[in-house]
Amino acid sequence: QVQLVESGGGSVQAGGSLRLSCAASGYTFSSYYMGWFRQAPGKEREGVAAIDTDGSIIIYADSVKGRFTISRDNAKNTLNLQMNSLKPEDTAMYYCAAATGRGWLGYLRARSYGYWGQGTQVTVSS
C-alpha cells in the first residue's frame, strides 16, 4: 500500500531554513503527482507546492514563491521541500501527498490527492 513518511520538521527562528523530505513506498513513485500541504491550528489545509511526475511542472502558492523549492528524486522515491527565509506565518503541520491524476482538481487542491503522510511540524519563531 502507499506509504508516505515526512521528516525534517523542527523549530527555527524567522529567516532560517529547513528541508523537509518525504519517503514514498508501496507504489510507482514516478507515476504520481506529488505535493506539499500545510495546516495551521484553526485553519484549512492549504497547498504549498506541487510537482508533476517528472518535475517539468512545478506550482507554488503565492505565499511561498521565491522562498520554497520543491523537488523530487524518482530514483530514490523521495520528495523534498527546501524552505528558506522562513516566517512565523509558515508555522504549521506540513504534509506530503500523492495523486494519480484521477479526479484532478488542480495541483494545489487537497482533494486532488488521495494519499497523505502523517505530517511533520514546522515552527518558526519571531
- If you write DSSP's letter for every residue of 1-45 in order, what string do you get? --EEEEE--EEEETT--EEEEEEEESS-GGGSEEEEEEE-TTS--
What pLDDT, on a 0 to 100 scale, did the predictor assign at position 59? 98
Q: How far apart are CA 107 and CA 56, in angstroms?
A: 13
- CA-based nearest residue to 51, from 108, 114, 111: 108
Average pLDDT, the chain: 97
Per-residue pLDDT tens digits for 20-72: 999 999 999 999 999 999 999 999 999 999 999 999 999 999 999 999 999 99
Contact 43, 27 (CB under 8 A): no
What pLDDT, on a 0 to 100 scale, did the predictor assign at position 103? 87
Q: Is 59 helix (H, G, I), strand (E, B) or coil?
A: strand
What pLDDT, on a 0 to 100 scale, did the predictor assign at position 99? 96
